[in-house]
Structure 1
Amino acid sequence: MSRTQPPPRHPPFVPHVQCSMQPEDDSLRLESASLGESAVTADDDGVKRSHKGESCENDEEGHLVYHIGLVMNERYEVVSTLGAGAFGKVVECIDRHRDEHVAVKIVRNIDCFREVAKSEIAVLEEINSLDDDNRFACVRMLDWFEHEGHICIVFELLGLSTFEFLRRNQFLPFSVEQIRHMAFQIFRAICFLHRNKLTHTDLKPENILFVSSEYDDKMVKKCVLSVVDFGTATFDHEHHESLVSTRHYRAPEVILDLGWNQSCDVWSLGCVLMEFYLDIHSSRKEHLAMMEKVLGPIPVHLLKQTRKQHYVHNEHLNWDRQSSSDNYIRKHCKPLKKYMQRKSEEERQLFDLLSCMLEYDVSRRITLEEALWHPFFSPMRPQKHQLRYNCYCSSDIIRGG
């Protein structure tokens, strides 16, 4: 099928489309491990077992019913299923033109999911053009096409998501040194997006993948990462949906409906680093109560501004201190720095950085460009590389204007 041109992002731009499912449903997200390895196998994913060449069809939910050996766009041969989610499935394919394995996201043939896919394609094309030498850790879109009414996006084949890696290791936390290397790459990638007026809006361990997930003794061999899932990425000039981010990584300004900007990515990454450090895996009001237990009271001026006034009583969070949920929070949550396990200097620096990222007030929250200069990342910047890093901060991170 001939390839059609996606609509430009700015301006005019593709508006975000509300689907019938509520954003609060985390299943709306296609698990990003699907761009690499996944626990889902071709034996239990509903793949149609048929002979090569048999015609394709849609199931009742608009997913493509495909079979191993199917060739799409006269080029991509399906060899296995990598993952599945609410808006589609991801399959591993052999690219017959390049003789290499790739991941292909097959989007459901439903209008709202097609619009999200077109939006993601436009963002990925923008990222590819701004980072043409692939210096920043954002997944590369290699191609896209339509097959039987389904938009299909071709990506480089990656390894496990950081969440899936933790899960397979019984949630054994990463070391502080590993967190430093991983965070530095992620921060550079998202800082690159922010400097180019783009917010990811859905940062979480499932959307951060290892390029290669080979490991020995439960230690990944190479902490090289890639950020994926740009389906809800939003340019600064575009309409901002009121509800973004997966619940556990959602910034307080989003929950309180105060409006949001790029700083919501910073909050999400602070939550991600905490999850890397120790296994901390909620109604939205309960989420706010947990925040208060870890970070202290929500500032009164933010509570006064919220459109969600049912969350507020007498300038405090409207929370039942006698509830079973409160008992759970008091038992399992504690002030942020009390989570520090060894109180080494590098951990002190990590928690100082986290306290700057998990700041209620957006005007006081650290930016990622500032975060990259935090003392926690000093080992990543040897003196002999300072000049090169200076150049990176001032020019390389913003491309194309």
Structure 2
Amino acid sequence: DEPHSNIGSRKQQGSACTPAALASRSRNMSRASPAPVPIARKRKRGGGDDGGNRSCSSEDSEMAEERSEHHYMLQKGDEFDSSRYKVIKQLGKGTFGRVVEMWDTSENMAVAVKVIRAVEKYACEAEIEAEIIQELQRTLPADIKFPIVRLYRTFQWRGHYCLTFEKMGPSLYSALKTVKANAEASQPSGSERWRGGAGHYFTLAQISHIAADCFEALVHMHSINLTHTDLKPENILFVAPLERGAALPETPMVALIDFGGATWKHEQHSSLVCTRQYRPPEVTLGLGWGTPIDCWSMGCILTELWTGSLLFSTHDEVEHLALMERTLGALPRCMLRAATCKRADRNFRHGYLRWPERAIDRESEEHVRAQRRLRECVGADPRGESLRWSRELSDFHDMLWRLLEMLPAERLTAPAARQHPFVLRAGRKPSTAHTLEDGSNGRGDCGSSNSHAARVKLGGEEGG
């Protein structure tokens, strides 16, 4: 479900991953990353193993695996880059390596250092990410705090390529998870299980501020022909740390991170981008893509902040398309007829999705049947009871509806989203004045008569 990177096409374009550079780095990594040391485990007398020993054994096994994969083995107090940085704690971990909070003794401030695994492939990808961010930063207003993470510098340390970023707060994903956990914990014992639902997580005012920052960043990125390609709650961070147990700020400020998959318009485009649940139909159908994919992802993200759940909870391609149809109306026939994805001839017929006959099982069929229309998702609680439709909620639904337009050429653009009434409620003054000539690498044979906008005009909102 994770998108493929564009590393293959970039290796031929950039100097960061030349054969000589890679060979040199590989030699350094070999010297800096010795083979993992076997970990001795003591067997308890008498046979049975208690929970503590099982926990230790599990941790030892995980550490051994991390050593074998050439991760940096975190130690509080470790020093990086000739003692400039001192390790404080781990902030996150992924396939690429770790993000570690460190103290920068030269600048007297906390920073977030992305310590890449001492593996050639990941070091190369990290260098490309650094080049993209540095080029992006050169186009940003110098005297304005912009909603894109700042990269301060890069360096090598014991075979690990490192990127030093500004220290920020938690991700939207982490914050949403915390809100859910706190709400469930506050329920009286013996009471009905907390079900949450629309309006119980982020408020519309908070979502408006988050949307304002995200679209501000996208307006600038798209104006210089750069597409993020992997927007999701994990890749949007609060600018400031949140106090433990404190409520979410009423006027949150956020910034975009993780530009490893960001792609310039002139570059070769990978066929598969975006994490599955935030992937637009043109990518799934193999129709090519452009900057509109970021706007679709934003529609999914903003809906999730309001409802507390994934808009499209799936790991299956056909099921994903069926969920889209259930929520937004039929996929445009011209898109299905032009599909170039695998098994297109079996999944589509005469311009229609073959559902439910292509469902993988009965559970999948039931999952799609339970999916609600967009209006019901944002305007009703889990029991199906309608929320009060204020002007603010109506504007929110309208913006989501336009962001989740299936035809990329008809989808709400970042500049238009920034000027949408729902986003303007945040009262944020745009720091850039770019305009964007909207375009897409998708097929151009789809007339607007098949778009969501046309279906709204002809058949009522959301196709009846």
TM-score in terms of structure 2 length = 0.70
Query: Partners in 2 of 1:47 and 1:129 — Cα distance?
Result: 44
Q: What's 2:173 paired with? A: 163
Query: Partners in 1 of 2:369 and 2:289 — Cα distance?
Result: 29
- Shift of residue 222 of structure 1? 4.7
Query: Partners in 2 of 1:85 and 1:290 — Cα distance?
Result: 29
1:189-221 C-alpha deviation (Å, 9 max, x unpaired): 111111111100110111111112435753336
Query: Partners in 2 of 1:82 and 1:45 — Cα distance?
Result: 18
Query: Partners in 2 of 1:355 and 1:154 — Cα distance?
Result: 38
Contact kept? 1:161, 1:207, Cα under 8 Å: yes
Identity %: 34
Q: What's 1:347 paired with? A: 393
AA aligned to 1:150 is H
Contact kept? 1:249, 1:268, Cα under 8 Å: yes
- Which contiguous aligned blocks of 4+ residues in structure 1 show a shift greater than 6 angstroms? 44-49
Query: Partners in 2 of 1:230 and 1:355 — Cα distance?
Result: 27
Query: Partners in 2 of 1:47 and 1:127 — Cα distance?
Result: 40
Contact kept? 2:219, 2:414, Cα under 8 Å: yes
CA RMSD of aligned residues (A): 2.8
Contact kept? 2:232, 2:301, Cα under 8 Å: yes
1:305-332 C-alpha deviation (Å, 9 max, x unpaired): 111213212321122257321212212x
Q: What's 1:141 paired with? A: 151
Secondary structure (helix, strand or coil) at the match of 2:297 reads helix
Q: What's 1:70 paired with? A: 78
- 1:113-128 matches, cutoff 5 A: 113-128=122-137
- Shift of residue 14 of structure 1? 7.2
Query: Partners in 2 of 1:159 and 1:67 — Cα distance?
Result: 22
Contact kept? 2:415, 2:435, Cα under 8 Å: no
Aligned residue pairs: how many? 347
Q: Are positions 1:330 and 2:369 aligned together?
A: yes
- Shift of residue 12 of structure 1? 4.2
After TM superposition, the structure 1 stretch with the greater mean CA deviation from structure 2, 126-135 or 290-299, is 126-135
- Shift of residue 157 of structure 1? 0.8
Q: What's 1:365 paired with? A: 411
Query: Partners in 1 of 2:107 and 2:179 — Cα distance?
Result: 34
Secondary structure (helix, strand or coil) at the match of 1:64 reads coil
> Which of these residues, 294, 297, 301, is aligned with residue 268 of structure 1?
297
Q: Are positions 1:392 and 2:432 aligned together?
A: yes
Query: Partners in 2 of 1:232 and 1:90 — Cα distance?
Result: 18
Q: Are positions 1:293 and 2:326 aligned together?
A: yes
> Which of these residues, 201, 224, 232, is aligned with residue 204 of structure 1?
232
Contact kept? 1:48, 1:65, Cα under 8 Å: no
- Shift of residue 126 of structure 1? 1.3
- In structure 2, relative to structure 1, the CA distance for the partners of 1:347 and 1:222 (3 Å cut) is closer
AA aligned to 2:86 is E
- Shift of residue 372 of structure 1? 1.3
Query: Partners in 2 of 1:249 and 1:14 — Cα distance?
Result: 32
Q: What's 1:378 paired with? A: 424
Q: Are positions 1:237 and 2:266 aligned together?
A: yes
Q: Are positions 1:102 and 2:91 aligned together?
A: no
Gaps of 5+ in 2: 1-9, 18-57, 182-199, 380-386, 437-464
- 1:155-234 matches, cutoff 5 A: 155-170=165-180, 172-214=200-242, 218-220=247-249, 222-234=251-263
1:273-331 C-alpha deviation (Å, 9 max, x unpaired): 00011122221111111111000110100001111213212321122257321212212
Gaps of 5+ in 1: 1-8, 17-43, 50-57, 397-401
Query: Partners in 2 of 1:109 and 1:269 — Cα distance?
Result: 33
Contact kept? 1:211, 1:226, Cα under 8 Å: yes
AA aligned to 1:107 is I
